Structure 1
Amino acid sequence: MRKLIYGMNLTLDGYITAPRDDISWGVPSDELFQWWLDQELAIGLLLYGRKLWEAMSSHWPTGDQQPDATPAQIEFARNWRDTPKLVFSSTINKVDWNTRLFTGDAVPEITRLKADDGEPMRVTGATLAGAAMRAGLVDEYEIVTHPVLVGSGTPFYPTLDNWVNLNLVETRTFPGGVTLARYEPTR
């Protein structure tokens, strides 16, 4: 059975974007960027909602060709292109870069994918991850908290039907006061 991981950068008040999809508060240090790269290298399938897919696919296909790209950014871009991706959306009709599109109900499809053998999967995007969380499909949370309060935006945590009790399995501090807390649900 495949593991499903939900992890993103978020503000101290729990948002993955500030109003108007602003993510300028979350510029990672080189050390944090390398940590994210190391995590992504272990992922066998990336699951995207439409909004995050559009953001990622607008930069990373050519991210390694940017004149100021660091070695880690070059490796991230290449890995991003090579890693299989599945976009869940009923409003777009075309995807590129080793990606396929799924227009149906995400929960049964993610459940089916989890039942397969293989490398871990990462679910990204608040709406898609929220559906996976409510269905009890998330096996690990990677919460990278930046020391900033933005007041509103897109929340990392969806409204849930039931409590989810978690076990802390790792903590780490990065430059600039950024912290990682990694949790697994108590089952």
Structure 2
Amino acid sequence: MRPLTYSINVTLDGSCHHEVGLPPDEESMAYWTAEMQRADALLLGRVTYEMMESAWRRPPGGEWPDWMETWEIPFAEAIDGAKKYVVSSTLGGADWNAELLHGDLGRAVQHLKEQPGEGLWVGGVTLPLALADLGLIDEYEFVVQPVLAGRGPTLLAGLRERIELELVSRREFRSGAIAVRYRPTSALG
């Protein structure tokens, strides 16, 4: 069974808003590129899917936009080419190497986890909360930014039950950010 990893940038006070942390730098983009390349597929809610598509989908002409730094291109290529599953009740379709998941969320994600492969990756705020409540997340990966935002959506706000975690790994970045990876203690054997 392939694991489902929830990965996101988060500030010290728990904000998950994509604009309140540190701006991406070469080191953090290389980290996220490697994580993206490890995943067989991405699982995204509508909001995250549309936000990522607007920033990282290769333009029709094939050339990346001028605003993109050369060290951002490997991440752009990784996410652009990744298989994506989108959870949405409002989208009529998804065409960025993506397909909509239909039916019961728990069963649909469990079916994806049972397929052969290395792993699935989920990002965003709302969908991971639902998946955590269903006990479907196998790893939690956070890049903790040395910022106090004081605003924005917070990490897993509204979680129904406490989930105890055990630290699996950590990595410090020159920026002061720290990447930490945890697994639920119930998933350890």
2:5 and 2:139 in contact (8 A); partners too: yes
- For residues 163 and 107 of structure 1, the distance between their equivalents in structure 2, rounded to whole angstroms, comes to 19
CA RMSD, 1 decimal: 1.7
- Within a 5 Å distance, the mapping from 1:30-41 to structure 2 comes to 30-41=26-37
How far apart, CA to CA, are the structure 2 residues paired with 1:70 and 1:160? 37
Matches of residues 160-179 of structure 1 in structure 2 within 5 Å?
160-179=159-178
Q: Normalising by structure 2, report the TM-score.
A: 0.89
Deviation for aligned residue 1:176: 2.2
Counterpart of 1:14, as a letter, is G
Residue of structure 2 equivalent to 1:43:
39
Matched-pair identity in %: 36
| Secondary structure of 2:16's aligned partner | strand
1:131 alignment partner, SS class: helix
2:57/2:80 contact within 8 Å kept: yes
Q: Does 1:56 align with 2:45?
A: no
Higher strand share: 1
Question: Structure 1 CA distance, aligned partners of 2:9 and 2:19?
Answer: 9
State the Cα distance separating 1:161 from its structure 2 match. Answer: 2.6
- Please state whether the residue corresponding to 1:58 is helix, strand or coil: helix
5+ residue gaps, structure 2, are none
Q: Which residue of 2 aligns with 1:2?
A: 2
Measure, in 1, the Cα distance between the counterparts of 2:123 and 2:32: 13
**Which aligned runs of 4 or more in structure 1 are off by greater than 4 angstroms?**
none
Residue-pair matches, total = 183
Segments of 5+ residues of structure 1 without an aligned counterpart are: none
As a proportion of its length, which structure holds more helix? Answer: 1
Partner amino acid, structure 2, of 1:70: E
Local SS of the residue matching 2:36: helix
AA in 2 matched with 1:53: Y
Check conservation: 2:21, 2:147, Cα contact below 8 A: yes
